[in-house]
Each structure stands twice: as structure tokens, then as C-alpha cells.
Structure 1
Amino acid sequence: MTVQHEHSSDLQRNLTNRHLQLIAIGGAIGTGLFMGSGKTISLAGPSILFIYMIIGTMIFFLMRALGELLLSNLNYKSFVDMAYDLLGPGVGFYVGWTYWIGWVLVGMADLTAVVSYLTFWLPPGATFSPVDQAMISAGCVLFLFVLNLLTVKLFGEVEFWFAIIKIVAIIALVLIGIYMVATSFQSPNGTVASVSNIWNHGGMFPHGMSGFLAGFQIAIFAFMGVELVGTTAAETKDPEKNLPKAINSIPIRVILFYVLSLVVVMSVTPWTEVKADRSPFVELFLMAGIPTAAIIMNLVVLSSVMSSMNSGVFSTSRMMFGLAKDGQAPKVLSFLTRNGVPANGLIFSCACIMGGSLLQYFVPNTIEAFTLAGTLCTILFLSVWIIILVCYIRYRKLRPELHAKSKFKMPGGIAMCYAVIIFFLFTIGILSLEDDTRKSLMVSPIWLIVLAIGYYGFYKPKLKGQSDNKQF
């Protein structure tokens, strides 16, 4: 199924400030927080609070570097263009395809989360069969495909309301949790809500430094997608005004949505009672004896997963459009509908995300499948983030006059870039500490082999004998 008529040659700037702000927030509140935090708490205990603050700080500097780069040249449609321009076609090829496959893997991880959340509605002890899991996954992908096929603005609207649901739910959880702590609420199992529950069960580092380091593995996945504002830059009205607003609000979001919400969760429910394969947000209300609120929160986390998948479907289709326009993918994938939607890229990306249905069939253990897909995409995203920072260092060397004129300079400059790069490399190294994440780390070089074959076998020969017409 392909679209054969090209109605427009480029993406349209149909996303407004409110769309961009909520897309940025949606990228900061994803499956990693709602589902992955259960496993992270079981690994790191209360030190998860420090983990999220550290990662959030590093992400903020990454986004400031990305923001300055995008605003230095509005002809950049995304960070693929930056990599191509500043580091060469080989790096641009790697970034485009790696970011694309990374979001495909995010989509697969999200499909496992959907199945996990839906088991909430089954009788105790009941599970979905592998066939049921695959059917549910396929249905989710088809639903989001239809939504994204219509218009770019509809994507923004859907993401806007998904994000509103998540924000309202987390604020409600924080307020209810504060009330439960203030009134010393006692759950049916005898637990009394108190802030002291955070440190009364082995201190802030109950599993020592090894547990603290292991917590970074899943926590970093929670931030996958925060760079989505860089992908939407080509479809955003007035980027000089709206992009800085979205990026500068990251620290506030991290404190409110990650740190404060988990402080509440671990105050009401001691971290020792948090189940690794469950959402602690849903479990909080169940353990507190409020099943109706638990049902509502389960619906919220389901909407959160659909929001994350919606972002993934949007991002992969746009990245495929860019790759096709540059000759790095079949030309047919660059066709747009009259509404400015890269329909063929959308179809191809959704078909690949549908591979998550096969993952559900062959790895029916949802938390195992989630960790496998989540860790692999974390490795790929970290490599893209590192390249963004290298682009910034190169930009400072090649175009100091643009940096001097910039009204949105990266705090800390080149020195901070190196610090963040070291942190991301350190995070990749941590993935070797646990058996389940080590498996993903060991298979990740296969992607480098595939890309090397694609670049040297197909793309590079196209570049030989012709001048580079790509203008920025």
C-alpha cells in the first residue's frame, strides 16, 4: 500500500506553541515513568529520586545544545540535518536510521506495556495468551496509524489531550498522596502513609552503590522522546519563540512529574512493597484500598503508553520522510499527502512497529520483553544524543559567529558538552551490570553491521561522482 501522488514537497508548520509544549511534556512523561519506575524502584530503592534528578539535569543540557543548534540555522529540519552538515553524510546516515529504529523499538516496548496494563482487567492470576497479546498489539498500531494518516495538526491535538490526561493524573496523584500522608492514612495491610517510609526501610541506598547504578538502566528509558521537540521543529510555527520555552521547562517537569510523584508513591507505599512488573502508580491506589481510583489510574497509564506510541509513529514517519528525501531510503517513502502527511513513510514505520506483535508472541513475559526492547533502544538513543553533543562541539569550532549571535546559548558551552558525553558513555557501561540488559548490549553491534552494509553498499556509491546538493 503506497501513496502515488505527491501533493506537497515539504513538511508544513502546522504545530502551534501549545502543541509543542505538550509534545515536550508528553516526551517527558512516558512508559518509562509509569511502568519502568516499578523495576527501577526495586533495583535502586529511594535512590531513584537522585537518579532522576541527575539524568534530568543531563537531559536539560543536551536539549539546550540541540536548541541552540536548531535555532542557529532554521533550514535544519531535525538533528539528522545537523549531523549531515557538521559531521558528514556518514554520520547523518547513522543518526537518521538509528533514531528511526530506536523509535520502532520504543513502539515495541510500549506494546508490551499495553498488554501488561490490560491484565489489570483480568481475573486474579489470569493472563493473555501469546496470540491474544499479538492481536492486542496489532490493534494498537492500526489505531495510531489511522490517527496519524489524517493531518499533522490532528497528531498535535491528540498528543495535546494525551499529555493533559497525564498531567492531571500526576497532579491528582500528588495531591491525594499528600493528603494521605497528612492524615496518616493506613492501608488494609497496616502500612501508615508517612514521608519516613522513604528512608525507614534500609535508607536511601538500600542496595548500595550497585543498586544505585543499576537503577540508571531503566530510568534513562523514561526520558526517551524528550528530544522529540527537535524532530517537530520543521512543523512548528515561530520556532525562535516556542522552542526555547519548551526546552527551558524541562527542569520543572522533571521535579514535578518524576521526583515529586515518586516521593508521594514511596511515602504512601514503602518501596519494599512496590512490584517490579507493575505500575507503582496503579498499585498505590490498590494498596491504599481505593480500587475506583486504581481503575482510573490504570486508564491513565494506558493513555500514557498510547501517547508514547503516538509520538513514536509520528517521529519514525518523519524520519523516514527525511531519509527518503536525501536518497538514504527508497524515493517512494518521501511522498506526501495533500495534508502534508508522509503517508508511505508512515505505512512502512507502522509495519515495522507491528513487529512488536511478534515480540509479544515469542517473549510472552511482558517485563522481559519490555526490558529487552527498552534497553536496546536506550543504547541507540544514547548514541544519537552523544552525536548531537559532538555536533554542538563541531558547530562551535566551525561557526563561532553564529554562536556569538545566538540568543539561546548552551549553558557551560563545550566543557558541559564533554561532561554530558562522559555521563552518557558511563550510562551505556552500566548496562553491562545486569544479565537482562547485558543481552541487549551484546546484540547492539549487529545494528552497526547492518548500517555499514547499507551505507557502503548502497548510499555512498550514490554520492560518488556527484556534487553534494544538500544545502543548509
Structure 2
Amino acid sequence: MATMHQKNEADTSQELQRKLSNRHLQLIAIGGAIGTGLFMGSGKTISLSGPSILFIYILIGFMFFFLMRALGEMLLSNLHYKSFIDMAHDLIGPGAGYYFGWSYWLGWVLVGIADLAAIINYLTFWLPEGTSFTPIGQALISAGCVLLVLGINLLTVKLFGEIEFWFALIKILAILALIFIGGYMLFHHYQTPDGTRAALSNLWSYGGMFPKGTSGFLAGFQIAMFAFVGVELIGTTAAETKDPHKNLPKAINAIPIRIILCFSTFNHDVSNTVESDQRR
């Protein structure tokens, strides 16, 4: 008990600035989840699982909902926890905290590498045809992106929260715009260049809901799970949250449902618009 009391006093003296509000928390978590896994990975997931991708995102979303609830309970049980790494250190042992912390860091390094590769692919796709980047050019673009992210993270907590809020809002607006466009194409039976018409019947006309059977359905979980990575970022902001007893439960209860709606509706529109076995 004396050791715990001394630890709590030390933690209090090192407490971080609590500047993040409810809107910051929600947009940081939602923005962290919305990225290459959705924008770039949805096509591959649909090609594997077909329209059953809707079930995949709903199942993973509900799993993450309970995960977030458990995470919130643990964070609120001791406001001296700065992240879930502190929970592992305190409740399991220093070794677990050390292993968990570095594993999480390594995981995000790999995600960062994947995102940098995606940025190069996006630039190659959208720039004039024939545009390509040399290895040095790719390295410079990647270094510029890393320095930009580093610079944002070195800002004050409140300013970081504001920048994350507006960047995440751009992502959300982009998804809403794509959902609206997909609904418009479905309503007007838009015809793609290869002759496919947007229609609800596309959900079952090309092999049914499970065009590649159980194996394709299960394979879709791998990429879809990657799309949800970032939701847990709320667990790293607990020590910088303003009024955590009020704001953390709000964010944790709302985030999974909103992500499920965005992801499932987005992929529903894509499945209605194109065949699941298209190459692009």
C-alpha cells in the first residue's frame, strides 16, 4: 500500500496537461481508424469476401465496441494511468508493460510503413499518366511525411488535438461524400465503363453474398481488421483528456457505432456499384 501511495504521488507530480475535449477524443479515434485500410483496402476485401464484407465489418465493429468498453473501465479505474501500457505494467508486471509498449510501437511503425507506401501509390495514381518516382524521390516523400507527423506531435496538446480534429473531419466528410455519390449512382442505375449497372441486385448476382465461400469470407477479416486499427488510440489520450469521467465514456460509447455505420455503408455502396470480381 505504501508503495502504491508513493507511486500515485509520483504520478501526480508528472501529470500531463488535460486539454483534449470530447470532440477531440472522438475525432482522433475515428480519424485514426479511417485510412488506407478503408480507402485502399476495401477493394481487396470485397474481391475476397464479396458483399459479405458487410457482415465482416459489423462483427469486427461489435468486437471493438466491447474492447473499447473494457478499455474505458480500466482507464477510469485509475486516472493515473497514462495509457493502456501503464495498465499492463501495474496489473500484470513491469515485463508485461515493457513488452506491450514496444510491441505496440513496432506495430505502428509497420502501419506507418504501409501508409507511406500507400501515399506513393496514391500520388502515382492521381498524377498525370506515366508519372513515376525514383527510389530517392520515394524516400524524400516518405521523409517529408514523417517530419510533418513528427512536427504535429511536438506541438502543445490542445493544438495537436485541434489539428487532429480538422484532419479527421476531412476524412469523415470524404467518406460521407463517397456514400452520397454511391447512393446517387445506385438510385440512377449508373453504368460503369465495363457495362455494369449500379443496383441492389449486384449483392447477389455475382456469386451471392459469399462468392468465394467460407475461405473468402474468413480471408476478408485480415484486411478489415487492419481498417479498424487506430480506434484504440483513445487509450493513449486518457492522461490528456479534460474531465475524463465525463468525456471518456461519451467517446467510447459513440466511436464504434459511428465507425460501423461509416464502414458498412461505404462498402455497401461499393458492392452495389461494381462487381466483386472486378480487377480494379
SS at match of 2:50: helix
1:34 paired to 2:39: yes
In the alignment, the residues of structure 2 paired with residue 182 and residue 274 of structure 1 have an alpha-carbon distance, to the nearest angstrom, of: 24
Shift of 1:91: 0.7
Conserved? CA contact 1:43–1:211, under 8 Å:
yes
TM-score w.r.t. the length of structure 2 is 0.90
Other-structure match for 2:157:
152
SS at match of 1:84: helix
Conserved? CA contact 2:30–2:230, under 8 Å:
no
In the alignment, the residues of structure 1 paired with residue 172 and residue 128 of structure 2 have an alpha-carbon distance, to the nearest angstrom, of: 30
Other-structure match for 1:269:
274
Partner residue of 1:232 out of 221, 233, 237: 237
Conserved? CA contact 2:76–2:244, under 8 Å:
yes
Shift of 1:149: 1.8
For residues 236-293 of structure 1, give each alpha carbon's deviation from its aligned partner in whole angstroms, at most 9, with x where no partner exists. 1011111111111134223321100110111112222253xxxxxxxxxxxxxxxxxx
Shift of 1:43: 1.8
Task: Letter of the 1:266 partner, please give it.
Answer: S
1:169 paired to 2:177: no
Q: How many residues align?
A: 268
1:280-319 maps to which residues of 2 (within 5 A)?
A: none
Shift of 1:122: 3.3
Conserved? CA contact 1:84–1:92, under 8 Å:
yes
SS at match of 2:231: coil
In the alignment, the residues of structure 1 paired with residue 99 and residue 208 of structure 2 have an alpha-carbon distance, to the nearest angstrom, of: 43
Task: Letter of the 2:94 partner, please give it.
Answer: P
In the alignment, the residues of structure 1 paired with residue 276 and residue 62 of structure 2 have an alpha-carbon distance, to the nearest angstrom, of: 24
1:250 paired to 2:255: yes
In the alignment, the residues of structure 2 paired with residue 251 and residue 196 of structure 1 have an alpha-carbon distance, to the nearest angstrom, of: 29
Other-structure match for 1:71:
76
Shift of 1:13: 0.9
Other-structure match for 1:388:
none
Conserved? CA contact 2:30–2:259, under 8 Å:
no
Conserved? CA contact 2:83–2:236, under 8 Å:
yes
Task: Letter of the 1:205 partner, please give it.
Answer: F
Shift of 1:190: 2.0
Between stretches 108-117 and 9-18, larger displacement belongs to 9-18
Other-structure match for 1:96:
101
Q: Indicate the structure whose relative CO is greater, using CA pairs within 8 Å and at least 6 residues apart.
A: 2
Conserved? CA contact 1:185–1:193, under 8 Å:
yes
In the alignment, the residues of structure 1 paired with residue 126 and residue 45 of structure 2 have an alpha-carbon distance, to the nearest angstrom, of: 24
1:193-232 maps to which residues of 2 (within 5 A)?
A: 193-232=198-237
Other-structure match for 2:113:
108
In the alignment, the residues of structure 2 paired with residue 57 and residue 274 of structure 1 have an alpha-carbon distance, to the nearest angstrom, of: 30
Partner residue of 2:138 out of 130, 133, 148: 133
Distance of aligned partners of 1:72 and 1:51 in 2 relative to their CA distance in 1, 3 Å threshold: same
Shift of 1:139: 0.9
Task: Letter of the 1:257 partner, please give it.
Answer: C
Shift of 1:35: 1.2
In the alignment, the residues of structure 1 paired with residue 203 and residue 136 of structure 2 have an alpha-carbon distance, to the nearest angstrom, of: 41
Distance of aligned partners of 1:125 and 1:38 in 2 relative to their CA distance in 1, 3 Å threshold: farther
In the alignment, the residues of structure 1 paired with residue 32 and residue 251 of structure 2 have an alpha-carbon distance, to the nearest angstrom, of: 11
Shift of 1:10: 4.0
In the alignment, the residues of structure 1 paired with residue 168 and residue 206 of structure 2 have an alpha-carbon distance, to the nearest angstrom, of: 34
- Structure 1 segments unaligned to the other structure (5+ residues): 1-7, 276-472
Aligned residues: percent identity? 69
1:340-359 maps to which residues of 2 (within 5 A)?
A: none
In the alignment, the residues of structure 2 paired with residue 81 and residue 61 of structure 1 have an alpha-carbon distance, to the nearest angstrom, of: 20
Shift of 1:104: 1.6
SS at match of 1:271: coil
- Structure 2 segments unaligned to the other structure (5+ residues): 1-12
Task: Letter of the 1:265 partner, please give it.
Answer: V
Shift of 1:125: 4.9
In the alignment, the residues of structure 1 paired with residue 15 and residue 118 of structure 2 have an alpha-carbon distance, to the nearest angstrom, of: 34
TM-score w.r.t. the length of structure 1 is 0.55
In the alignment, the residues of structure 1 paired with residue 43 and residue 167 of structure 2 have an alpha-carbon distance, to the nearest angstrom, of: 22
Shift of 1:147: 2.1
Task: Letter of the 2:46 partner, please give it.
Answer: I
Shift of 1:224: 1.0
- The Cα RMSD (Å) is 1.6
Shift of 1:142: 1.2
Between stretches 169-178 and 58-67, larger displacement belongs to 169-178
Other-structure match for 1:296:
none
Task: Letter of the 1:129 partner, please give it.
Answer: T
Other-structure match for 1:17:
22
In the alignment, the residues of structure 1 paired with residue 186 and residue 32 of structure 2 have an alpha-carbon distance, to the nearest angstrom, of: 29
